Structure 1
Amino acid sequence: MTTATLHPTAGARPLADLLTMLRRNLLRAVRYPALTSFTVVIPVLLLLLFVFVFGGAIGAGVTPGAAPGAEGRAAYLDYITPAILLFAVVGAAQSVAITAAMDAHSGIMARFRTMAISPGSVLGGPVLGTVVQGLVAVAVVLTVAVALGFRPGAGVPGWLALVGLVALVTFATTWLCVAMGLAAPSVETASNTPMLLTALPFLSSGLVPVATMPAPVRAFAEHQPFTPVVETTRALLAGTTPDGATALLAVGWCVAVAAVGYAWSRTLYRRERR
């Protein structure tokens, strides 16, 4: 029995292993374009649907003084774009749940445990790769929104803060989705379980103000992770200073979700599959 088998981490180079796994994840994204394009196509379709079908009416309601029709659509485009960006983030995170389940059930992850590979890189590589994909998806969706008439007012500090926030949200949701993928009894289940995350942007301030919601729904919307993230993103895109408490809450939620997802993923990775 080799030393690597007895001590899988012997000789492991954490940074080099992490970069190798990151490269593997990015190559997989290129080789499975259908899975990758899902993170962009769905948010773009949602943007077009909400703006051009519902925007003329809803926009007049969310923005005081906006008239129904073209003016309402323009107002709703400004309002809804931050939420659509988060749909792109969630879509990117969902894809890693599927790939994590594929690795777990194909046996490649069990093989990794017997090799001289840094354990953290096996999970960390896909997470970082998904963060890259999430940022690219957000950039594409934002470009489409600008083409439709969205005009962000962010300056350089605002854009830097926005990139950091999007990366942090993607990082947090990806760790959670990795755990969901490893815990799933099949690859098919792994593709469905993270769908629960897509409901959260709908039940936030992303599509309509929480003040318009019934009391129980409003209470949930005000105390779930995506509402402070949406509000902070909206302020950054508008070029205004985000509310300090709201921004801190958004970061706090991200840190908490990332910690839970990381701990859950590491536990599942170390567990021997029967």
Structure 2
Amino acid sequence: MSTVTTESAAGPTLVREGGDGAPRPHGPVAPVEGRITPRAHLRHIGALTRRNALQIKQNPEAMVDALLMPVVFTLLFVYVFGGAISGHGNQQDYVNYLVPGLMAMMGLNIAMAVGTGVNDDVKKGVMDRFRSLPIARSSILIAKIVVEIGRMMVATTILLTMGFLLGLEVRTSVLHLAGAVALSLAFGASLMWIFVLLGLSLNTAQAVQGVAMLVLMPLQFGSSIFAPPESMPAWLRTFTEYNPLSNLADAARNLLNGGPVAEAVWMTLGWAAVITLVTAPLAVARFRKRT
């Protein structure tokens, strides 16, 4: 008697051939991930994305950071630090300097939530249940990223709305504004893979938040998001020039205000590609090991 595998609507199924050659069902088995077609992979991502979105609908508090963070940061830095950081009293000029930089900051802060969410799912056993399903392991993590990109779009929309209320001007065109938003989303998505890897590597959500803050603070404040690098000491200016957030902030700023953008845009896209290519496979491999 031999054993073969056949395909069905429910997925591959082991069957045994009897002496007469007739197949006899012998229970379903999960397919090997490498056999999952791109179409099935996209379908899995869509189903898991819907599941994650429904979770937000059932727990609206999950959107508090995306809704309030842009408002708090914009008001705080414009009215509390704006005069001192900009060096003059022209609020509108500083709004046009700050808001594009905050677009870079939104991605970094939203990305941190991905790590804590993944860690929480692992602790609750949700990832183990996903692991038992005949789906690509990467689709589980990609669905998380897709939903967080949606949250980032909401945060960016609120940020721009606040900016326009405070006097933000788009001195180029709507297409340049859309390009700045798309660039921020692309870079933010790459950062999310770093925090997914942290969420799968550390034991608690508190540990993920602690490590994330150690990463966030130097990158945010050691950049051109809030102040021109020329106002910084030489050693900090060097760090700022190599900080990928500075590239993103400068690219978004020049897209909105006018100025050379090619170098900053390509540097930002290069950083996003490198971060994704390095951390995404590591995150998927860690997910396999962790679950």
Q: TM-score range by the shorter chain?
A: 0.7 to 0.9
Structure 1 residues 218 and 241: alpha-carbon distance in aligned structure 2, compared to 1, 3 A threshold? closer
Q: Which consecutive residues of structure 2, in runs of 5 or more, have no partner in the other structure?
A: 1-25
Q: For 1:140, give the aligned amino acid.
A: I
Specify which structure has the higher proportion of strand: 2
How far 1:29 sits from its partner (Å)? 2.5
Whole-Å Cα distance in 2 between the matches of residues 7 and 85 of structure 1?
Answer: 40
1:146 paired to 2:164: yes
Match of 2:98 in 1: 80
Q: Is the 8 A contact 2:200 2:290 kept in 1?
A: no
Structure 1 residues 224 and 10: alpha-carbon distance in aligned structure 2, compared to 1, 3 A threshold? same
Say which of 238, 242, 249 aligns to 1:230. 249
Q: Is the 8 A contact 1:40 1:88 kept in 2?
A: no
Q: For 1:220, give the aligned amino acid.
A: F
Kindly provide the CA deviation profile for residues 218-265 of structure 1, in whole angstroms up to 9, marking residues without a partner as x.
111111110110000001112x25332222111111111122220221
Match of 2:73 in 1: 46
Corresponding pairs, count = 263
Q: Is the 8 A contact 1:135 1:167 kept in 2?
A: yes
Match of 2:146 in 1: 128
How far 1:210 sits from its partner (Å)? 0.8
Q: For 2:58, give the aligned amino acid.
A: R
Q: Which consecutive residues of structure 1, in runs of 5 or more, have no partner in the other structure?
A: 62-66
TM-score, with structure 1 as normaliser: 0.88
Whole-Å Cα distance in 1 between the matches of residues 262 and 169 of structure 2?
Answer: 24
Q: For 1:120, give the aligned amino acid.
A: S
Specify which structure has the higher proportion of helix: 1
Q: Is the 8 A contact 2:200 2:287 kept in 1?
A: yes
Structure 1 residues 106 and 213: alpha-carbon distance in aligned structure 2, compared to 1, 3 A threshold? same
Structure 1 residues 164 and 2: alpha-carbon distance in aligned structure 2, compared to 1, 3 A threshold? farther
Look at both structures and tell me which one has the larger radius of gyration over its CA atoms.
2
Whole-Å Cα distance in 1 between the matches of residues 184 and 197 of structure 2?
Answer: 20
Match of 2:223 in 1: 204
Q: For 1:107, give the aligned amino acid.
A: G
1:187 paired to 2:205: yes
Say which of 18, 41, 52 aligns to 1:14. 41
Match of 1:250 in 2: 268
